[in-house]
Amino acid sequence: MAKFEETVTFYRSQQTSPVHCAIVFIHGGAWIDKNNTPHDFDEFSRCLLDLANGNPSFSIYAIEYRLSPAVKHPAHIYDVIENLVKLVEQEGIEELNLMGHSVGATLVWQVLSGIPGLANAESFASSAELKLLRKLLKKCYLVDGIYSLSKLLEEYPSYDYFVSQAFEQIEDYDDPEQSQVIIPLNADIYVIHSYRDELLSPLQSNYLCATLQKLKQPFQSYWSDFGEHNEVYSNAKVAQYILHTMQMH
């Protein structure tokens, strides 16, 4: 059972004309860390509100999902989709923007790409719930994310301590280059990475950018010093970038 009751509303926009636009944050934590929650984005949300003079044109939320080892993949992405659909329906969201950090970016990528990373999930990829979300998708911000488990474990063999808790076997996750990636025409992609990230080198974000280039998929990337891995989601420069791009139509 997903954890919709732990969805956090940071700001509900009064500017719902012509559509109710929202950004939803998805936290990281290697699928296992109980210290990472929707409240990771408390400071980031306050920064967005300050930059927008307290009146952004979009609502701001964050959702939760169950963690491993209590559950295994694909429970995490099932929870994300279920909670996003509930939020969309409850709040009347008509334009959906997603920002994910670390494995939160992995989960956003799975929604964005039609569930690559979810092996043998053709039936779920065509589900009404996922179709609804993908129809509403506008901007997807992928922040210091993980996209290839095989390359992750080649670079950081010790990371098997959390991968093995989240996945029955690594074959349960298809890397993007092994999958049929189908990105909605209405979606804009933003790849963000901090040069000072001490837990993930640029390899993962570069891998995703190379994959998108092979697909001839338009995207933007933003590389700078946004602090260490767990500082990026409270960085003011990232908040300014999100606000600037959210205001572009």
Asked about 249 being catalytic, the answer comes back as no
Catalytic residue, from 68, 148, 229, 234: name it: 229
Q: Tokens in use for 142?
A: 């992928």
Residue 93 per-residue DSSP state: -
Considering only CA atoms, which of 66, 147, 64 is closest in space to residue 112?
147
Active-site residue among 102, 148, 194, 234?
A: 102
C-alpha distances (whole Å) from 209 to each of 8, 13, 21, 223 are 31, 33, 27, 12
Q: Is 225 a catalytic residue?
A: no
Structure tokens at 148: 């290839």
Helix (H, G, I), strand (E, B) or coil at 60: strand
Catalytic option among 68, 101, 197, 205: 197
Measured between alpha carbons, how far is 180 from 122 in angstroms, rounded to an integer? 10
197 given a catalytic annotation: yes
**Which amino acid is it at 141?**
Y
Report the distance separating Cα 85 and Cα 130, nearest Å: 8
Residue 212 tokens read as 């998108």
Catalytic positions, written as ranges: 102, 197, 229
